[in-house]
Chain A
Amino acid sequence: MSDLLQRFNALPWEAYSQWLVILPAGVMLLAAAAAVALRNLIHAALCLTLSFIALGIIFIALGAEFVGLVQLLVYVGAVAMLIVFAILLTRPSDLAGTKSPFAGIGPVTGILTGAGLLIVLLAFIFKSPLTKVAMPVAPSAPVADIGKLLMNSYIVPLQVIGVLLTSALIGAAVLAMEDKKP
């Protein structure tokens, strides 16, 4: 077992690091495109989950292991599950859906807006001199340091996030509660 681990660690990970980002990025973009385009909502939610898994792998490959694991736990574990639940709870909605008067124009304008934004973003990204910096040596983000920062410099944002999450969950429960009055 330890022999296997040694051989695993001896692999030239530095040479692979580029492909550990590029390959998950390709999977992530394909899955995101499928999630946007698929008609079946359950299939779209599953493609979204695959896209989130690939995004977590990219985070881990870029050196932010903690963020990658949090991404897997929160998005793949909780948010994807919430979305699947919502799809199942709102299931018969397709039967009651009326045709929108803008159903023909909506997709065209939306895709044109997206394409325009993509062109502008890519043009500025590839023109910017700031982004020509070389990749520095892999930074490390040890969990112990993240915990110390959360308990020192970031203590106020941490508490605010705690209040936000509590109020959001209470608000969600109150919103989704059945009306008691007839």
Chain B
Amino acid sequence: MTLQILLAISSVLFVFGLVAALTRQNAIMVLIGIELMMGAGNLNFIAFWRFSPHSELLTGVMFAIFSIAVAAAEAAVGIAIIILVHRRIKSANVDNADQLKG
């Protein structure tokens, strides 16, 4: 087990999330892609913490905890926005939300 393997795993996970966010038309799938990218970032924090010479400072663990909290807030607001947009334009397709007018 080396740091490279963990970083490679997390970059593959990040790319899956990026592809989901870029190609899927449903807004919920875009949100799922963003969550996957957040998970890849957290895996990087934990991987670098695991290999750091000063792991007793717990910096990576702290960053991962705060990042999870921010991801939870982001998911709640994102889903509220998706539901609001769906109520206005009767569609969760991101291509249909093409007006600035409410």
Chain A nearest CB from B60 CB (Å) reads 8
Cross-chain contact of A44 among B13, B14, B29 (Cβ < 8 A): B29
**How large, as a class, is the contact surface on chain B?**
35 or more
Residues of A within 8 A of B8 (CB): 122, 125-126
Interface string of A160-176 (1 = CB under 8 A from B): 01001100110111011
Q: Is the CB of B36 within 8 A of A176?
A: no
Q: In whole angstroms, how far apart are the Cα atoms of A75 and B61 in the complex?
A: 17
Interface string of A110-152 (1 = CB under 8 A from B): 1101110110011001101011111110010100011001100
Cross-chain contact of B23 among A62, A111, A150, A157 (Cβ < 8 A): A111
Nearest opposing residue in chain B for A21, CB measure: B1
Does A98 sit within 8 A of B, measured CB to CB?
yes
Known: A35-B36, A44-B29, A96-B90. A106 touches B23 (CB 8 A): yes
Interface string of B1-14 (1 = CB under 8 A from A): 11111111101111
Q: Is the CB of A100 within 8 A of B75?
A: no
Q: Say whether chain B's binding surface is mostly helix, strand, loop, or mixed.
A: helix
- B residues 48-89 near A (Cβ < 8 Å) are 49-51, 53, 55-56, 58, 60-62, 64-66, 68-77, 79-84, 86
Q: Is the CB of B83 within 8 A of A89?
A: yes
Most chain B Cβ neighbours within 10 Å, of A17, A32, A154: A32
Most chain B Cβ neighbours within 10 Å, of A44, A131, A161: A131
**How large, as a class, is the contact surface on chain A?**
35 or more
Q: In whole angstroms, how far apart are the Cα atoms of A66 and B77 in the complex?
A: 25
Cross-chain contact of A93 among B12, B39, B79, B92 (Cβ < 8 A): B92
Chain A nearest CB from B50 CB (Å) reads 5
Chain A nearest CB from B92 CB (Å) reads 4
Q: In whole angstroms, how far apart are the Cα atoms of A41 and B19 in the complex?
A: 16
Cross-chain contact of B65 among A55, A67, A115 (Cβ < 8 A): A67
Cross-chain contact of A110 among B5, B23, B68, B70 (Cβ < 8 A): B23
Q: Is the CB of A48 within 8 A of B9?
A: no
- B residues 27-58 near A (Cβ < 8 Å) are 27-29, 31-33, 35-36, 39, 42-43, 46-47, 49-51, 53, 55-56, 58
Which B positions have Cβ atoms within 8 angstroms of A? 1-9, 11-20, 22-29, 31-33, 35-36, 39, 42-43, 46-47, 49-51, 53, 55-56, 58, 60-62, 64-66, 68-77, 79-84, 86, 90-93, 95-96
Top 6 A-B residue pairs of the complex, sorted by shortest distance between their CB atoms: A139-B55, A110-B22, A110-B23, A168-B73, A172-B80, A100-B95
